[in-house]
Amino acid sequence: MKRFFLVVIISGLVFLLTGQLSSAQSVPGNYGNIPDSLMAYDKYQKAYKYHFIEPTPFLGAGREKKEPVDLTEVRIGFLGPLEGSIIRPLGEQMMQGAILAIEEANKRGGYKGMPFKLMIHNDVGLWGAAANELVKMDDEGVWAWIGTIDDTNSHVAIRAALKLEIPNINPANPDPTFTETNIPWVLRNIPDDRQSSYSLVKYMTVEKGYKRIAMMRANNRYGRVGVLHFNRSATRLGFPPVIEERFNDTETDFTSQLERIKRTSPDAILIWGNARESGLIVKQIRELGMNVPICGSDRMVNPEFLEAAGKYAEGVVMTCQYNPTANDPKLKKFQADYRKRFSMESDAFSAHAYDAINMIILAINKAGLNRALILDVLTDYKTFKDWKGVTGEVIFDATYNNIRPIFMAKVINGKIEFSPAPKFEKENVIYRKASRN
């Protein structure tokens, strides 16, 4: 009899696994939306084994748990930098987007008449502290949570989420390795830095023909991991960056780094960092007499960057995970409601947080109050097949990382204008022998 039940259980797990894999395999393209021309060693021979082509399903217990009957509210967790962090403004934007989504859901009647409540936790930026906040969320009885922004703290938090079995959608951390942890409780609805890197490489090397690219990046995980795929991709096309300089958060004088960059005679400079430091770097580049084109990462799409760079921001090209100027009624309503509610403009962090909360609420309404069943809905590819948020559609790869197309942003006449990011086409790619000349 024991052997019979064991066979039944194993058969059920195999069936569940097979069903999830078949859904993942229906998603077209390479892992992470990697262009064919940038696949490692692909022009020489196919790899013996490819990773991240199948999802990691949750096969544990929990789906049998009944919905509680004594609740008066439905709690959703939030983790973000709100105090003691230099990226506090980004955390506040993310929190406000989440608050707006919660308030709107409650106006629609909440969940079976019960209001949703956002349980707000501060990401203090200390190693291990994020895990403690997840434990607090578990004690509070949250059904899912969103956050955080900092790459390192996000990695710590999702390991606690794995142990506590709480679904997570990340709307703000662009670290490509985040979903590569194969933790089945984790999704990300904001496109990652991998997408930004591919678009910047296409724009800088293929479209503009820059051969000698200098990199200036933040001396933290956001900068280090952010430029990783740009460096690899540019090198695969035969244009390895000629120099990589680093700067610290809150730094204001970049003379020594920029003097070294200047001596390499670059065709263009790529900056990867927070808005204020990036703006000051752009200003000092111009003041040193370097008139080379400048490109940058998504965090530069920020009024703080324009303020710090001043007139020197003109012509700078960046990436952005969505188009905030799109002629989309849903987006425009969100922006107007956000402006009215918080007396400020929304940004990528608030918009993606708003979408993430709405995705969780959609899953709760379908699955009920059961974490495992909520996860099942979130990770079912059919759930978001035709769903569209204020930031656009959701196209999950096998790691539940959103690989939808992103946008380029350029400062023109003091304002940031947006256009579709360039895509690699096989016939447009010219491989060159790796050279610094």
CB 273 within 8 A of CB 217: yes
Coil/strand/helix, residue 394: coil
Please give the mean pLDDT across all residues of the chain. 90
Regarding whether 421 and 282 lie in a shared domain, the answer is yes
User: What local confidence, expressed as pLDDT, does residue 147 receive?
Assistant: 94
Residue 420 in this model has a pLDDT that exceeds 70: yes
**CA atoms of 36 and 43, how far apart (whole Å):** 9
User: What local confidence, expressed as pLDDT, does residue 310 receive?
Assistant: 97
The CATH number that applies at residue 87 is 3.40.50.2300
Amino acid at 132: N
**Closest to 77 (Cα-Cα) out of 115, 106, 120:** 120
Regarding whether 225 and 133 lie in a shared domain, the answer is no
Q: Which residues contact 241 (CB under 8 A, 6 or more apart)?
A: 213, 214, 215, 230, 231, 234, 235, 270
Q: Which residues contact 140 (CB under 8 A, 6 or more apart)?
A: 75, 77, 119
The model's pTM is: 0.90
Asked if the structure places residue 263 within a domain, the reply is yes
Lowest mean per-residue pLDDT among 22-31, 145-154, 166-175, 340-349: 22-31
Amino acid at 173: N
Regarding whether 316 and 276 lie in a shared domain, the answer is yes
Coil/strand/helix, residue 66: coil
Residue 11 in this model has a pLDDT that exceeds 70: no
Residue 276 in this model has a pLDDT that exceeds 90: yes
Give the residue numbers spanning the domain of 283.
194-320+408-428
Strands 213-218 and 243-247: what pairing?
A: parallel
Asked if the structure places residue 316 within a domain, the reply is yes
- Alpha-helix runs per DSSP H in 141-288: 151-164, 193-201, 221-226, 228-236, 255-263, 275-287
Asked if the structure places residue 16 within a domain, the reply is no
Regarding whether 414 and 296 lie in a shared domain, the answer is yes
pLDDT band at 186 (very low <50, low <70, confident <90, very high): very high
CB 411 within 8 A of CB 181: no
| Tens digit of each residue's pLDDT (9 = 90 or more) over 90-109 | 999 999 999 999 999 999 99
- Give the count of domains, the chain: 2
**CA atoms of 363 and 155, how far apart (whole Å):** 24
- Alpha-helix runs per DSSP H in 265-310: 275-287, 303-309
Regarding whether 144 and 116 lie in a shared domain, the answer is yes
Residues in the chain: 437
**CA atoms of 155 and 245, how far apart (whole Å):** 26
| Burial of residue 82 (number of CB atoms within 10 Å: 0-12, 13-18, 19+) | middle
Residue 332 in this model has a pLDDT that exceeds 70: yes
Query: Average of pLDDT values for 229-235?
Result: 95
- Alpha-helix runs per DSSP H in 35-87: none
Which two three-digit tokens encode residue 196?
């930004």
Asked if the structure places residue 228 within a domain, the reply is yes
